[in-house]
Amino acid sequence: MSKKDDKASSFSRREFLKISGVAASVPLIVGPTVVKIEGQEVAVHGPGAVPVKLNVNGRTFSADLEPRVTLLDALRENFDITGPKRVCDRGECGACTVLIDDRLVYSCTTLAIEAQGKQIVTAEGLGSGQPHPVQTAFVNNDAQQCGFCTPGLTVATKAFLEKHPHATDEEIAHGIGGNLCRCGTYRGIHGVVAQMTGREPKGNAGTTMVAERAAKSVKGDA
């Protein structure tokens, strides 16, 4: 992608409000239209479908998409990359979490055209050819039930651990708090973080588990 297109992609609402004195009748054609904003020429996409090229998990995908199509919908509907889930569809639950240039984003509130020219990574591409250790840790700690929130959570947890190699409970609460789970798998995720950071298992990361407890023959249990 050219730099010019990148600039168009970072087109913010504040800038949009400053558009003045430009004939804003945008014809229904493919490809960007150039408009003048405060003396500068800026490419505007749409409103019809425009060619979009995305790099996802190291592969290139192309499609003609309306500029209003979100990255999440492009991934799921056009490229059949369905690890990111559509749940709240407005940036509240984190089920659509992906990495863009190593930054965590909610793909439901990112436009597909904005993600062009960047490296997008979903749960499917988190490991290189095999499951990422975080994804294996999700299994070892049974940090999933129905699994619908899990792909987003594995991406979020991996990015969180890179930032917080010695994560505390408070850091977990904030750092992974943007991903919601309905089945209630958070205790297992504490276990994942403990395992990955080599933390002493305690509290929620501890193993008060069946076999161990049974062996201890706790009062009231045979």
Partner 1 sequence: MPDQYSWPPPEERTYIGRRMGRVDGLAKSTGHAKYTYDYNPKGLLYGAFVRSPYAHARITSIDINAAEKMPGVKAIEIVQKQGSEVHWAGDEIVAIAAVDESALRDAVRAVKVEYEQLPHLVIDSKEPPRNLPPDTSPLSGDDLEDMFDNQVPANQMIKEIKERGISFKPEEAPLDEMPANIVAALKSAPQKPPQQKSASWYKPAAAETQGDPDAAFKAADTVISEGVYGIPVIAHCCLESHGSVSEWTDKDHLLVHASTQFISGIPGQMGDELKIPASNIRAVQENIGGGFGSKFGPDRWGIFSAKLSKKADGAPVKMMLARDEELEVAGCRPSAYARVRVAAKKDGTLTGWDSFGWGTGGPGGGGSPPIPYLIRDRLPNYRTQWTAVVNNIGPARAWRAPNHPQACLITMAALDDLAAKLGMNPLEFFNKNVDLTGPRANIFRDEFAVADDLMGWSKRWHQRGDKTAGSIKQGLGLSMHTWGGRGHQSECDLTIQPDGSVTIKMGTQDLGTGTRTAIMAVAADTLGLSPQQITLLYGDTRYPMSGGSGGSTTIGGVSSTTRRAAVDARDALFAKVAPALGSTPDQLEAVKGQVRAKGGSSKALSWKEACAKIGAVPINAHGKNLGGRDPLMNSGVGGVQMADVSVDIETGIVKINKMVAVQDCGLVVVPETAESQCYGALIMGISYALYEEKIMDPTTGLMLNPNMEFYRLAGIGDIGELVVHMMVNKYDSRGVIGLGEPPVISPGAAISNAVANAIGVRVPTLPLTPARVLAAMEESQKGAA
| Cβ closest to partner 1, residue 41 vs residue 51 | 51
Report the nearest approach of partner 1 to the CB of residue 208 (Å). 5
Query: Nearest distance from residue 52's CB to partner 1, in Å?
Result: 14
C-alpha span between 30 and 215 (Å, rounded): 69
CA nearest neighbour of 162 among 98, 204, 103, 121:
103
Rounded to a whole number of angstroms, the minimum distance from the CB of residue 219 to partner 1 is: 5
Q: Rounded to whole angstroms, how far apart are CA atoms 222 and 210?
A: 13
Q: Which C-beta is closer to partner 1: that of 6 or that of 124?
A: 124
- Nearer Cβ to partner 1, position 8 or 189? 189
Handedness of CA 117, 13, 63, 103 (dihedral sign): positive
Name which of 9 and 185 has its Cβ closer to partner 1.
Answer: 185
Under a CB-based contact definition with an 8 Å cutoff, are residues 72 and 108 in contact? yes
CB of 76 to partner 1, least distance (A): 7
Buried b (16+ CB within 10 A) or exposed e, 196-208: bbeeeeeebbeee
